[in-house]
Structure formats: structure tokens, C-alpha cells
Amino acid sequence: MKKLVTVLLALCLVIGCSAALADKLTVTAWDANFNGAALQAAADDYKANVDPDFELEINIVSGSSDVENDMTLAGSSGDISNLSDIVLFQDHFIQRYVADYPSLWVPMDDAGINWDDFGAEKLSYSTVDGVHYGVPVDNGTAIMAYRVDILEQCGYTIDDMKGITWDKFLEIGKEVYAKTGKALLSMDGSGNDLPYMMLQAEGESQFKDGKAVIAGNEKLTRIIKVITDMAKEKVLILANDWTGYTNETIMQDQVAGVLNGNWIIPTMNQVSDNAGKWQITSLPTLDGGEGYAANGGSSLYVTANCKNVELAKKFLAYTFGGSTGTYDNALRNGGVITCCISAGQSAVYSEGVPFFNGQAVYSDIVAMGANVPIVEQNDFHYTVRGYVGNAIVNIINGADIESELQQAQELIDFAMDV
């Protein structure tokens, strides 16, 4: 009898462990207040509405590079045992990692997600050779935000800024600086994202057929000239680094305009005295017309080490695949804006935002995200950004634009082994 009881107890323990395992997933991400909040919102949603025994263990690391290093180590060593079931991964890097380590990733095509409910540009990052690998999380759609009170001092409204040319932006910026002493734009000069966003708004890329196209890129040349002209006219502040950009220009109230991925909004919110003075619209373009772009963003991926792939797929499909409960609370608790078009039509997204003068900016951002054009991406995105950024600084200091872009082209070609 004792032997039978022992066997039964052991069996119960095994069944209990298996049941616990069946309801648990692990995920690795960075930024507890942003990505962590979104993941917790998803876990709470799934637990409340699908599986009361569900548990999501969220492992927060210091930065996205930690996840990239983990995947590199697993892929190069063949040991995947330390990978989480799910990882958050940067959009700009994922295609290289799928190409280099294809066995690390679980395709998501059969997860039951309506992919048509997401902007095509967002999905273009995580779709490799027609296969969906990632489930989008945060929306990187760019906003062009303006201090409407300062515009009014100069005789303009937010509607006057919609669909304008960059030349007109420069003209208005000069007026704003002359009357208020504020620049109409700022950016981190050491990691200048303006060329990429401005070029994407034109529907073009810094790459073609897998190669960088810097020298001789007519639209990029025009964009670089606009950027350098804005800097010379004090319409644009190019800060020395990221801290200077956020802390010294935006948070120190030195600018009347902000252009970046919408994740910049929490930084803008730090200046509480300016609540109600901001509104957003689309980007200017070279020849006029509304421009749309994106900057940054990430998606969730199921790894080959996942112990319960079906649960992972069900969890991601239900939550980030379109649940308003997940996305509403991710927005409330972390400022994470959905990439899912239908989820962006909820009552929460449609609410006017006091900081933005009552504008329903979150639903507007989701709508704008659906219009961002797909442009060619490349693993050397950040390398190009660095060399082009250096060229801009040199041009502002008097160097020839064509010569600088040619030098940037040669440096990039060398880095890409072209």
C-alpha cells in the first residue's frame, strides 16, 4: 500500500508540474516601464479572459543588445537552453538574425492572427521570405508635434503645417526663432534619425538591392541640404548626444517642434507647464503633401527553446494580435501605442489627450501608421545613420555636400564589404 501511495504521489507531482508548465511562458524584454508594462497588460488580459492559471514570467534586461547577444550566443553555439520562450526584438535587426540563425525562430503564420489588421510597413520588418515571424508590439510611427501657442504668436495654426514643404517649414522656423528664440526642431546629432524619417516620408530608402545609396541619391541630397540649412538658420538644434537632445532641448523647453517616433511623447510630457500647448500632424515633404514615417519599434518572437509553442501562439494571437484589453492597458500603464488598426479604434484611443490640446492623438497615430510607406531595410541601418550624421556635421561646418556624401558612401561600402 505504501508503495502504491508513493507512486500515486509521484504521479500527482508530475501531473502538477506538467499542468503548471502548460500554463506558463517566459519572455525577455527591456524597459520595465514601457515594454514591461505592455507585457504585464497582456498577461493580465489573457489570465482574466482566457486561462485563469496562466502565468507569464517577464525577464527585464538592461537593453535590446542583451537580447541580441543572447540570440547570437545561442545561434553560434547551438545551445538554446538559456533562451526564453518569447523574446522582444528590435525591428531593424531581426531580418539579419533570421537569415543568420534561421533555426532559432518559430514561424507564426498559423497563429490565427489577422495580419491585414496591421500596417504593412510594420509587418515588413518581421516578415522574411513571405513568412511571419514576429507579432508587433509598439508602434514606431513618427509624429510631427508643434507648440500651437508659439505658432499662433507667429500667425500660424496646426492646419497651416499640414502637408507643407520642408522649404516652407524652414521659412516658418526662421520666423519662430526670430520672434520667440525657440528652434522649430531638434535631434540627437550623434545618432541623427532625421535623414531616414524624411526620406521614408518620400517613399524612398538609403538602400537599393541590398546596397547603400548615399552619393548620387537626389532626394537624400536635397534632404541633407534642408537639414544643414535648418541648422545654420537656428531652426534646428543638433545636440551633441541623446541626453542633450532629450534633456537640454525638449525637456528644457528650447523647441517649438518635435519630430520622432511617438515613443518620444513621455519625454515631452516631462515639461508639464506645456500641457495643452502641443498638437500633432503628419510630416512635411520635399515637394509638399503629407508625409508618413516610422522610427524604432519592436516585435515579439517565439524561440526554438519554447516549451509550449501552441500556448505561446495562442497568447500572442489573443493579446497583441488584437485585444483591446491588452492594448488599452498597455497605453494607460506604459504609453505603448498599438500597431493593430482595429485595437486603435477603441474608446480609450479615441479619448482626447489634455497634453495635446484635447486632440485624440493615439487614434491619429494608429491611422497615420497605416500610411507609412514600405522602404527597403538593411542590417547596416545604424552604420549608415552614423556616417551620414557625421557628414551632416561636416557640411554644417563648411564642407562640400557632394564630397561628404561621397566619402560617406565609400566608408559604408567598405563596412558592407561591397
Give per-residue pLDDT as tens, 376-399: 988 899 899 999 999 999 999 999
Which cell numbers hold the place of 369?
A: 501608421
All three cell numbers of 149: 501657442
Residues 12 and 297 sit within 8 Å (Cβ to Cβ): no
What pTM was estimated for this model as a whole? 0.86
In terms of Cα–Cα distance, which of 348, 346, 341 is closest to 368? 341
Give yes or no for a contact between 101 and 75, defined as CB atoms under 8 angstroms apart. Answer: yes
Looking only at the bridges linking them, the beta strands covering 86-90 and 24-30 are parallel
* Dihedral in degrees, nearest 10, Cα atoms 312, 315, 316, 322: 160
User: Residue 3: its pLDDT value, please?
Assistant: 52
Domains of the chain, each with CATH number or no CATH: 21-139+296-345 (3.40.190.10), 142-293+376-415 (3.40.190.10)
- In a 13 Å sphere around the CA of 256, the CA atoms on its Cβ side amount to 29
Counting as low any pLDDT under 50, the low residues of the chain are 2, 4-20
Pairwise CA distance, residues 234 & 183, whole Å = 6
| Coil, helix or strand at residue 151 | helix
For 61, residues 6+ apart whose C-beta sits below 8 A from its C-beta are 28, 29, 30, 67
- Distance CA(155)–CA(175), nearest Å, equals 10
Instruction: Pull the grid cell for residue 358.
Output: 484635447
| pLDDT value of residue 256 | 98
Which helix (DSSP H) or strand (DSSP E) does residue 260 occupy?
Answer: strand 257-261
Read out DSSP for 307-369?
S-HHHHHHHHHHTTTT-HHHHHHHHHHH-PPPSBTTGGGSHHHHSPBGGGTTB-HHHHHHHHH
Give the count of alpha carbons within 13 A of 217, CB side only.
Answer: 26
Predicted pLDDT at 379:
84
Rounded to 5 degrees, φ, ψ at 395 are: -65, -40
Structure confidence by residue, pLDDT tens digits, 150-161:
999 999 999 999
Residue 10: CB partners within 8 Å, gap ≥ 6? none
Strand positions, DSSP E, 91-141: 127-128, 131-132, 134-138
8-17: b (≥16 Cβ within 10 Å) or e: eeeeeeeeee
Q: CB 52: neighbour CB atoms within 10 A?
A: 9
Quote the pLDDT of residue 19: 45
